[in-house]
Structure 1
Amino acid sequence: MKSLGKILGLFFLGLLLIIVALGFALTHLFDPNDYKDEIRDLAREKANLELTLNGDIGWSLFPWLGLELTDATLASADTPDKPFADLRLLGLSVRVLPLLRKEVQMSDIRVDGLNLNLEIDDKGHSNWENVGHPRKTASATDAPDSADKTAEAAPQAPSKPSDPIKLDIDSLIVNSARVDYHNAQKGQQFSAESIQLTTGAIHEGASVPVKLSAFFGINKPVMRARTELQGDLRFDRVLKRYELENAKVSGEASGEPLNGQTLTYALQGQLSVDMAANIAQWSSLKLSANQMRAIGELKVTDLRDKPKLSGGFSVAEVNLRQFLKGIGQEIPAMADENTLNKFELVTRLSGSPSSIKFNEMTLKLDDSTFNGELAVDDFSRQALRVKLKGDKLDLDRYLPPKSKEASARDAEVKQSVAKAGKAGTSELPNAPTQQAWSSAQVLPIDRLRKLDMQVALNLDQLTADKQNFSNVDLQAKSAGGLLTLDNASGSLGSGSFVAKARVDVRPATPVLSLQSTLKRLPVEPFLTTAENKAPVRGLLDLQANLTTSGNSQKAWVEALNGTSSFALENGVLVGANLEQQICQGIATLNRKQLTREINGTDTPFKTLNGNLTFRNGVASNPDLKVEVPGLNVTGDGDLDLRVLGLDYRIGVTLLGDTRAMPDPACQVNERYVGLEWPIRCRGPLELGAKACRLDKDGLGKVAAKLAGDKLTEKLEEKLGDKVSPELKDALKGLFKR
């Protein structure tokens, strides 16, 4: 038995020596470089691939089947002079015996200096077209149709699914690889350079450490990014399941959209793809972009057909102003530079390759909180859909600061207010001359022409122009360059407003229209400023139908046309006592001095109403009527909205001092009954009734009329019935002229 064992041992030893000797002989006596032409022909025939081997082929046979290629290029056999790949080094080796058991046991796979240059010309043809398909021959092309039909008709035995080959690779190393993609048809370019890939041992079902780094670049827009990825890859080809555990992606990006700034980003989480279930997931997602932090989870279903996205994420509170500046985004000038300091978002989301929707969204911006949904229905059309409900919004904080034009006018108004005097006894104020509106462009015309938008916004409280509106409802839409405000309504105090508007940006010069209705809206809050009290108080009813054109406040006012009717009820002309001024006029005609001032500095009125016709920024008011106790007031004039000035001629018919103890100098006798007293109002709108003075020229005419009336009376006394009635009438008319 010992001899038999010894003989068997010697036999196997001899067999092993023979195998080693054969391997040595094959690897040393057989040189694959002698067969380069045959290898090229085989690649050309079977894969339609033009393979150029400039370097030597190194190889080994046993126990490792090893292969090493250097300095090789690849091109489509259809365009052999346009290589799409070149390789400095490819080295790999496989154990021979495990191959017989359908097991791939490999040592390190090493790829150095791989360059892929993929191009699509302006006709849509790529430089890798038809690679991987057997090359068509003339005989194959000319084969009769009957052969094809026979082949189609021949029954095929059902193929038995083969067991997948088991992989066992020590590592994969890719050094200094580069990929360039150029699509001349679309003008697109993409590059990935300095690609470094390393893995640990690759075993199916086991975690495989993976590390990848590269520099990426695109041309539309010009962007460049450095990215690193690491994680543990686990895959099961039978179950068609792939996982990247503890995935970490980090890097930096810069380019045109960032305007010279740098975005530092990082992502973490657990990635899994289940091709059998047609599902991909990213759980435990953590995202950071500069100082912004977010967490969430994403899921994609129906991967192969119509992918559907679902999930949710939340953005922690962040200073949005600093974040936007950090990524090179210009922030419009705002009245309050402390806006955008707080931003927070929690939402669910859903989407498809062409759309995304944020559901159950809670958004916090500074002191405001909004709930609702926001969606982009179609990325290609930028179709924006917004439906939000908010608690409050102080719009004044986000609007642009006052323009230089407004500042210049403020100085002019201050000067007019100072000269107006307490009781309006100074000279008639000058008409304002300074432009009240900004000439800065307001509407982003190019963007609005492309905008596809539908917005529904409800606010419990809206602060605009320092006024606190409540229950505000806004419904707007935009398509094809036409913006429509279907509804803007709300309340202010005891009053309400409803408005509709259109902005047409399709013409070279935008055209705007507005229809509005105000009911019992308090005017005092709108007219009060930090420097001056409101010149008038009351509840306003208004109907307006206006049109204009242009793209600045100044242009809109200067092109303003339309009509409006108004009625102001239960109001007060603040800081102007018309009764005092009329009494001063009566005292002047009586050649007496008032012994005291009439109490109060304001003039209350029951109603103030009229109609306005707007022509190029000037509103004409021909039928002003004011009901004042003891006075009957009518007038006509203009409101110049370009400089916010007024110019009115007022006629006041008075009853006189009707108090129990009237001022003797202001007593009304029969001569003053029904007499209209002239008043001129001119100056900035902020002055209100303080801009009104007795019209001295008109007062002279009143005095002349009174003198004529008195002379007529004396003539009648002297002449009595000695003259005809016709002559009396002629004499009266003479003195009334």
Structure 2
Amino acid sequence: MKAFGKILGLGLLGLLLIIVAAGFALTHLFNPNDYKDEIRQIARDKAHIELTLNGDIGWSLFPWLGLELHDASVATLTTPTQPFADLQMLGLSVRVLPLLRREVQMSDVRVEGLNLRLNRDKDGHGNWQDIGHPAPSAVPASVTAQTDKRAEPTSAAEEEKPSQPIRLDIDSLTVNNARIEFNDEKTGRQITSESIQLSTGAVHDGKEIPVKFTAFFGTNQPVLRARTELNGNLRFDRALKRYQFEDMRFSGELSGDPLQGKSLTFSAQGQLLVDMAANVAEWTGLKLSANQLRALGELKVNDLNKTPQLNGMLSIAQLDLMKFLDSIGQPLPSVADGSLSKVELVTRLTGTPTSLALDDLNLKLDDSNFSGRVAVEDFAKQSLRVQLKGDTFDADRYLPAKSADADSASKVRQAEVLSSEANAIASNSPLPESPTRGAWSNDKLLPIERLRSLDVDAELGFNQLTLKKLPIDNAALKVTGQGGMLTLNELRGELYSGSFSAKGSLDVRPDVPHLSLQTRLNRVPVERILQAQGQKPPVKGSLTLGSDITSTGNSQKALVDSLNGSASFALNDGVLLNANLEQQLCTGIATLNRKTLSSEPRGKDTPFQELKGSLSLHNGVASNPDLKVRIPGLSVNGNGDIDLRVLGMDYRIGIVVEGDKSDMPDPACQVNERFAGIEWPLRCRGPLELGAKACRIDKDRLGQVASHLAGNKLSDKLEEKLGDKVSPELKDALKGLFKR
């Protein structure tokens, strides 16, 4: 038995020596370069590719099956003269005996100068789709169909009984100076990856594989270029269909046209896992950076075999958003200093391949805090859904600054008003002239194209909102938009001691946008609104206003010039500021009495209990036919126009002395029975900001009052003269004659 084992061992050793000797003789006596044509034909018949071998073929047989190709290219049989890949050198070697056990043990695999060209023609057909396909004229269609039919049962059988995976054992993989290019002839788009360098450690199933990858990427639509580097440890288990990339770090720098000459330095880190058996992918320990932006989080994707479902968390550290956007060539319009300098975000992410939602969102924007939800329900349709609640928010901080034209027009307007106000200080000065300069900007207000494509459903709420310097409490906004029609479902809030609400629509489907708006103000202090806008209020009181207006255009001027509709207003418990109507009346009465006022007025304001009326708006001009003011002892009626295009007014006012029959403080201003019931005329004309300062006694109509009073005097004298000598009917007729 012992001798038998010795004989067997010597036999095996002899067989091994014979194999080694045969391999040595074969590799030294057989030159594969002599069989290049046969190798090309085998490539055509078996692999259905056109293989060109311009360089030498080096090889070894035992114990390593080695192969080294130089200067080779590969084309499809459809376009054999147009290679889609070429390389300078490919070197690899495989141990022979492990192949018998379905194990692949390889030494270093090296690829030098690989150049891969992928092209999609104008019909959308890619050259890679022909790889491995026989030449069109080589195989009849009927034969191909029969071959496919015969192959179907085999494929089904293979699916039922999958073969055992081959074990891989590679010392290392190295790719130097590779290049990949993709061209789309239909769109003209080109994507390239150049200077590709890939190196790995030993490749073993279930073991950590150190990986380092670098490349330069570029595209021409838009023009972008990126330098990238990828490092980490790869681990895979093909039997479990489980793949991990541990301690992954992907970093680089991006530049190009969209960045407007700036650059973006970025990095992404974390642990990646793909479990195909469980159809799950995870990214834990996620760290992102992009210039000043820093973010942490984790992501998980389920149902990889169906519609993937994303879940995760994301936290963005505080950053200066203005500086960040400027650093990537996307600067925002100039806003107030310090705005958007403190932005933080924490949210839960959910999504699909076509949607993304930020749930349980907490956003800090400078001194404001928001919570709620923001979602894009359909990327293709840009379907935006917003539900946010804020504590305090000063919207004025984020409004763009006025343009130079608008600022210049505003200064000219202020100078015009100041000039009119200076001329209006004295009560005996002439009427101010009506303003003629436009008060509104021609700057475009709305991004029409973006609004037409907008699909939005937004609901916003604020404990306190500052807008146009107005402090609005418990503000709420609900707006929807789709297909170019935007609807304001609700806008409401509390303003000072009153409230307001509005609803309306904006139609941007036609070339000229169309606006429709209905508003309601309830007992809002009008003087505080005007003061907040930096204007000197001409009047005080609680304003109640209702309006229903329409307009067209895309600038302040166009919207005001086309303003049409109706409105009604009531101002209660009010005061006309810097307007002593008593003094104005006394001036008129003293003129009729041919006397001079000897005392100064007791006050500079005129209180009133109510001011009301209605407005009819036509192309930016509001006609007010029924102005009524109720003042203790007086009633005021008026009619006129407010030209909103230039913020001017032109009113005719009639003041009637009613119940106060006592003497006025000044002897020249005596109010007695013959002045009671007389309508004293005023004319108010000039810039709207002047208010009652623009009012004067209407001397044109004062003559009618004098004629009326003269008629009364003659009537009184007739009464004395006639006494009871004539009938009452004739007496009344004579009095009426003199009153004409």
Identity within the alignment, %: 61
Offset, 1:688: 1.5
> Counterpart in 1 of 2:397?
397
Aligned counterpart for 2:572 among listed residues 559, 569, 572 = 569
Q: Distance in 1 between matches of 2:152 and 2:395?
A: 76
Q: 1:152 to 1:277 in 2, by over 3 A?
A: closer
Per-residue CA deviations over 1:159-206 (Å, capped at 9, x if unaligned) read 755432222211111111111112334544322111111111212222
Q: Is the 8 A contact 2:355 2:379 kept in 1?
A: yes
Amino acid at match of 1:168: D
SS in 1 for 2:381: coil
Name the CA distance, whole Å, in 2 between partners of 1:232 and 1:354. 31
Residue type at the aligned position of 1:19: I
| 1:91-130 alignment runs, 5 A limit | 91-130=91-130
Aligned 8 A contact 2:468 2:533 in 1: no
Mean alpha-carbon deviation: is it higher for 540-549 or for 726-735?
A: 726-735
CA distance in 2: counterparts of 1:452 and 1:257, whole angstroms:
25
Which residue of the partner structure matches residue 260 of structure 2?
259
Residue matched to 2:419 = 415
Equivalent AA in structure 2 for residue 359 of structure 1 = D
Unaligned runs of 5+ in 1: none
Higher mean C-alpha deviation, range 666-675 or range 282-291: 666-675
Higher alpha-carbon deviation: 100-109 or 375-384: 100-109
Residue in 1 that maps onto 2:542: 539
Is contact 2:662–2:672 with CA below 8 Å preserved after alignment? no
Q: For 2:353 and 2:135, locate their aligned partners in 1 and report how far apart those are by CA, in whole Å.
A: 36
State the partner residue of 2:443: 440
Tell me the residue number matched to 1:406: 410
Partner residue of 1:627? 630
Following superposition, the deviation at residue 667 of structure 1 comes to: 1.8
The answer as to whether partners of 1:527 and 1:686 remain within 8 angstroms in 2 is: no
**Equivalent in the alignment of 2:210:** 209
Corresponding letter in the other structure for 2:582: E
Amino acid at match of 1:669: N
1:508 aligns with 2:511: yes
Identify the range of structure 1 (399-408 vs 25-34) with the bigger mean alpha-carbon deviation.
399-408
Equivalent pair of 1:496/1:519 in contact (CA under 8 Å): yes
- Please report how far the alpha carbon of residue 6 of structure 1 lies from its aligned counterpart in structure 2 after TM superposition: 10
Given candidates 686, 691, 694, the residue that maps to 2:694 is: 691
TM norm structure 2: 0.93
Structure 1 residue 98, shift from structure 2 partner: 2.2
CA shift at 1:673, angstroms?
A: 1.2
Letter in 2 for 1:370: F
1:229 aligns with 2:233: no
The residue identity in structure 1 corresponding to 2:332 is I
CA contact (8 A) 1:583 1:656 kept: no
Distance 1:509 1:729 in 2: 64
Q: Quick one: distance in 2 between partners of 1:99 and 1:610? A: 100
What one-letter code is carried by the residue in structure 1 that aligns with 2:346?
V
Letter in 1 for 2:247: N
Given candidates 595, 619, 622, the residue that maps to 1:592 is 595
Residue 722 to residue 368, structure 1, CA distance change in 2 (3 Å): same
| Cα 1:150/1:632, change in 2 over 3 Å | closer
Q: Deviations over 1:660-716 (max 9, x none)?
A: 874322221222111111111112222211221212222233223323432444456
Residues 223 and 115 (structure 1), Cα distance of their counterparts in 2 relative to 1, 3 Å cut: same
- Amino acid corresponding to residue 49 of structure 1 in structure 2: I
The CA distance in 1 between the partners of 2:551 and 2:98, in whole Å, is 85
Letter in 1 for 2:91: G
Secondary structure, counterpart of 1:28 in structure 2:
helix
Farther off after superposition, 145-154 or 567-576: 145-154
Code of the aligned partner of 1:47: A
Q: How many angstroms does 1:269 deviate by?
A: 0.7
Of 651-660 and 279-288, more deviation after overlay is shown by 651-660
- Shifted more, 591-600 versus 204-213: the winner is 591-600
Instruction: Say which is worse superposed, 458-467 or 393-402, in terms of deviation.
Output: 393-402
Contact 2:460 2:477 in 1 (8 A): yes
Deviation at 1:255, TM superposition (A): 2.2
Q: CA deviation at 1:95?
A: 1.7
Indicate conservation of the 8 Å contact 1:420/1:691, yes or no: yes
Count of matched residue pairs:
735
> Which shows bigger deviation, 61-70 or 287-296?
61-70
Unaligned stretches of 5+ in structure 2?
A: none
- Checking the alignment, whether the CA contact within 8 Å between 1:406 and 1:435 is kept in structure 2 is no
Equivalent of 1:449 in 436, 442, 452: 452
The separation in 2 between residues aligned to 1:214 and 1:383, in whole angstroms, is 36
2:184 corresponding residue in structure 1: 183
Q: Is residue 469–residue 533 contact of structure 2 (8 Å, CA) maintained in 1?
A: no
Match of 1:58 in 2: 58
Separation in structure 2 between the aligned mates of residue 598 and residue 208 of structure 1, nearest angstrom: 98
Report the equivalent of 2:318: 317
- Secondary structure at the aligned position of 2:401 is classed as coil
2:673 paired residue number:
670
Report what 2:30 is aligned to: 30
Structure 1 contact 645–684 (Cα < 8 Å) conserved: yes
Q: Could you tell me how far 1:615 is from its partner in structure 2?
A: 0.9
* Residue in 2 that maps onto 1:387: 387
Selected match of 1:679 from 670, 682, 688: 682
* Residues 465 and 526 in structure 1, CA contact (< 8 A), matched pair in contact too: no
Q: Cα distance, 1:589 vs. partner?
A: 1.8
TM-aligned CA deviation for residue 9 of structure 1? 8.7
| Secondary structure of the corresponding residue to residue 98 of structure 2 | helix
Match of 1:269 in 2: 270
Counterparts in 2 of 1:401 and 1:128: CA distance versus 1, 3 Å:
closer
| Residue of structure 2 in register with 1:361 after alignment | 361
Deviations 1:94-141 (A, max 9, x none): 122222232222111111111111112122222122423567864783
Distance 1:260 1:733, change over 3 A: farther
Greater alpha carbon shift after TM alignment, 227-236 vs 126-135? 126-135
Q: Secondary structure at the match of 2:444?
A: coil
What is the CA–CA distance in structure 2 between the aligned matches of 1:327 and 1:250, rounded to whole Å? 16
Who is 2:221 aligned against? 220
State the alpha-carbon separation in 2 of the partners of residues 216 and 24 from structure 1. Answer: 46
Match of 1:648? 651
- Return the alpha-carbon distance in structure 1 between the equivalents of residues 694 and 611 of structure 2: 17
Instruction: Note if contact 1:66-1:92 (Cα within 8 Å) is conserved in structure 2.
Output: yes
CA deviations over 1:432-469 (Å, ceiling 9, x no partner): 22221111001001111111111111111111121111
1:700–1:338: structure 2 CA closer, same or farther, 3 Å change rule? Answer: farther
Distance in 1, Cα, partners of 2:664 & 2:531 = 36
Q: Cα 1:152–1:712, aligned 2, differ >3 Å: closer, same or farther?
A: same
Which among 550, 554, 560 is matched to residue 557 of structure 1?
A: 560
- Report if aligned partners of 1:657, 1:663 keep a CA contact under 8 Å in 2: no
Q: Residue 700 in 1 paired to residue 703 in 2?
A: yes
- Structure 2 residue matching 1:233: 3-state secondary structure: strand
The answer (yes or no) to whether the contact 1:48–1:134 under 8 Å persists in 2 is yes
CA positional deviation for 1:23:
2.0
Cα distance, 1:575–1:374 mapped onto 2, change above 3 Å = same
Distance 1:47 1:731, change over 3 A: farther
SS at match of 1:665: coil
1:412-440 residue CA offsets vs partner (Å, 9 max, x unmatched): 2233333332x745332222222211110
Q: CA deviation at 1:373?
A: 0.4
Shift of 1:350: 0.5
Aligned pairs for 1:575-614 (under 5 A) are 575-614=578-617
For residues 545 and 244 of structure 1, what CA distance do their matches in structure 2 show?
63
User: What TM-score does the superposition give when structure 1 sets the normalisation length?
Assistant: 0.93
Task: Classify the secondary structure of the residue corresponding to 2:410.
Answer: helix
For the residue of structure 2 that corresponds to 1:101, the secondary structure is coil
| CA shift in 2, pair 1:155/1:77, >3 Å | closer
Deviation at 1:2, TM superposition (A): 13
Q: Deviations over 1:458-509 (max 9, x none)?
A: 1111111211111111111111111111111111133222211111111111
Take 2:462 and 2:145, find their aligned partners in 1: how far apart are those partners?
76
Match of 1:468 in 2: 471
2:249 match: 248
State whether residues 76 and 133 of structure 2, in contact with CA within 8 Å, keep that contact through their aligned partners in structure 1: no
